[in-house]
Structure 1
Amino acid sequence: MKTFVILISAILLLNLSSCATHVTPRAATKVTVIKKAPRQYKIVTLNGKRYYFWNGKHYQKTRRGYVLVRV
């Protein structure tokens, strides 16, 4: 009976001790940075954030330029 309890506890410890999961890294997304906005842009404020709108798309200003965002 003692060996049975040791065997069961060993099996439980082996099954429950591993918490590792397999994580696959996401592929890097391509980001297009536009250095200079055209003259016909409009400033739009949505939810307290400023977006620049031209050609039917919203852009956000960053240090490097303007980046296309989904609103």
Structure 2
Amino acid sequence: MRIFLIVFIGSFIFCATSCAPRVVSSPNSKVVYVQKRPANYKVVRVNGKRYYRWNGKNYRKTNKGYALVR
């Protein structure tokens, strides 16, 4: 009975942890997206990259919208 219990617990631990996906979150995961840019934006180029500026903040265009650049 003792061997059965050890084998059962060992197999449970092995099966429970082997399929678990690892999710690594970065500490800088707070990204602000804006869906539409306002009419009073300006295009700014820095090192050949295009940024959109309005309200004193710079944004870059992504697939999800416009991301705030810090």
Question: TM over 0.5: same fold?
Answer: yes
The CA deviation string for residues 24-55 of structure 1, in whole angstroms up to 9 with x for no partner, is x7435211110000000000011100000000
Gapped regions of structure 2 (runs ≥ 5): 1-24
Q: Pairwise CA RMSD of aligned residues? A: 1.9
TM-score normalised to structure 2 length: 0.60
Identity of aligned residues (%): 54
Counterparts of 2:32 and 2:65 in 1: how far apart (Å)?
9
TM-score normalised to structure 1 length: 0.59
Gapped regions of structure 1 (runs ≥ 5): 1-24
Counterparts of 1:26 and 1:35 in 2: how far apart (Å)?
23
Q: Residue type of the partner of 1:59?
A: Y
- The higher radius of gyration belongs to 1
Counterparts of 2:62 and 2:46 in 1: how far apart (Å)?
17
Secondary structure at 1:52 match in 2: strand
